[in-house]
Amino acid sequence: MSTFVLQGDLCYCTTAEPSLQTLRNGCLVCVDGRSAGVWSELPPQYQAFPRIDRTGKLIIPGLVDLHMHAPQFSNRGLGMDLELMDWLNTHTFPEESRYGDLAYAKQAYGLMAENLLHGPNTRIVLFATPHSPATALLMERMERSGLVSYVGRVNMDRNAPESLRELDAETSLRGTRTWLSAAQCAYQNTYPILTPRFIPCCSDGLLHGLAQLQEEFRVPLQSHLSESPGEIDLVRKLCPNSRYYGDAYHGLGLMRGLPTVMAHCVWSGEAETELLRRSGTFVAHCPQSNANLSSGIAPIRRYLRQGLSVGLGSDVAGGCHPSIFRAMTDAIQVSKLRWRLVDGKDPPLTFTEAFRMATLGGGAFFGRVGSFDADYELDALVIDDATLSSMRPLTLAERLERVAYLSDERHIMEKYVRGKRLF
């Protein structure tokens, strides 16, 4: 059923107003998988629609994860006393090497998809590995989940273990083209995304070839940018003619206006920030990972002020928790630390700003997603927060804030993606 009325306590953001929109016992109308708007009194033309009465329950848009490493799901909570480059070599690369074994990949991706299905995220952008068969398996598993996702076959042709490093740029590009041709129109909810891991693992020839593939196939691209000082130093040595990290991508044909997500952007300076803004590149802010791996605190307040497109990422397994509720609360906390300890000028993020990034901000990468405004694809969570007891009456905004900080998957009663109820 993709045409219905969902009635309950609505909380959502809109492009028209900066404040959180709330409506107690309101009606959210879904027509063929898209929102027809929110109403306090249901208009006559919708009176005959099936009504799902969830009076007293919170109803919010599904959350969007712009950056997650699917093969690292089993690594959550390991190596959190290491910095990025050491962590990659000690934990990440050995685990990802195991995805050459399809039996292992099937079991691991199944566990991950089941976890994601019952959590608050409805849209996810995923890294896989350089193994094309395992990447195809991941896409099939995500399609069965009913969630909407982008899945990327990872490219790596240097500075990686032999078990992950592709022979050369030509081999990597040939494998990517074959995978992309098969995957581009194979699914309803799962889409391919080009995925160079990051410049330290990708030669100039590989990045330039991926830029040509992006132009040819008109698909999005994801990678990492300016995550940690050690990584940036390595890029400076590998790309001595580039003015800054993002300039190395741009000089090889990437970040030129086609849909792109760059994770982290912790240390982006003014020139790089302007490139992000000018190219329309989305920043995937991953606050827990940046803290766990000692990468730093991204200047998200500055990015928002300068008009960048910013969403949130779990960055599993640099981040331990796939829930974007956790990313919201971490984003607020680290912004306070940045304000207190780093610059003292830009005020911390508000809860509404974090919620906006988790819904509308990241959702924009998928199109008209992340709001209950009319003509947005209808992704929704029905949340029972009755057990999060309080000694006083709470506004809907206060209830939502407590849900973000205190709830888990047990509080999610129902989950809708494109108007289809998943559970």
18-39 pLDDT, tens digit per residue, is: 999 999 999 999 999 999 999 9
Which of 366, 385, 408 corresponds to the end of one domain? 366
The amino acid sitting at 392 is R
Q: What is the pLDDT of residue 144?
A: 98
Query: Looking at residue 32, which CATH number applies to its domain?
Result: 2.30.40.10
Both 56 and 200 in a single domain? no
Both 211 and 321 in a single domain? yes
Query: Looking at residue 170, which CATH number applies to its domain?
Result: 3.20.20.140
Which of 366, 390, 413 corresponds to the end of one domain? 366
Average pLDDT, the chain: 97
Tokens 């030509």 label which residue?
A: 170
What percent of the chain shows pLDDT beyond 70?
100
Which of 366, 384, 406 corresponds to the end of one domain? 366
d(CA 372, CA 13): 8
Q: What is the pLDDT of residue 367?
A: 98
Q: What is the pLDDT of residue 101?
A: 98
Q: What is the mean pLDDT of residues 353-357?
A: 98
In the beta sheet, which residues pair with residue 52?
A: 6
Q: What is the pLDDT of residue 239?
A: 97
Both 240 and 305 in a single domain? yes
pLDDT in tens, 126-148: 999 999 999 999 999 999 999 99
In the beta sheet, which residues pair with residue 305?
A: none
Both 356 and 377 in a single domain? no
d(CA 320, CA 204): 32
Both 275 and 347 in a single domain? yes
Position 266 pLDDT exceeds 90: yes
Host domain of residue 379: 4-61+371-421
Q: What is the pLDDT of residue 361?
A: 98
Position 1 pLDDT exceeds 70: no
Both 234 and 297 in a single domain? yes
Q: Phi/psi of residue 305, each to 5°?
A: -65, -35
The enclosing H or E element of 121 equals: strand 121-127
pLDDT in tens, 201-214: 999 999 999 999 99
Both 227 and 81 in a single domain? yes
Q: What is the pLDDT of residue 389?
A: 85
Both 413 and 309 in a single domain? no
Both 331 and 398 in a single domain? no
Both 118 and 241 in a single domain? yes
Q: Please state the domain count of the chain.
A: 2
Both 234 and 303 in a single domain? yes
20-59 exposure pattern, b = at least 16 Cβ within 10 A, e = fewer: bbbbeebbbbbbeebbbebbeeeeeebeebeebebeebbb
Both 293 and 398 in a single domain? no
pLDDT in tens, 106-123: 999 999 999 999 999 999
The amino acid sitting at 414 is E
pLDDT in tens, 281-335: 999 999 999 999 999 999 999 999 999 999 999 999 999 999 999 999 999 999 9
Nearest to 182 by CA among 128, 220, 132: 132
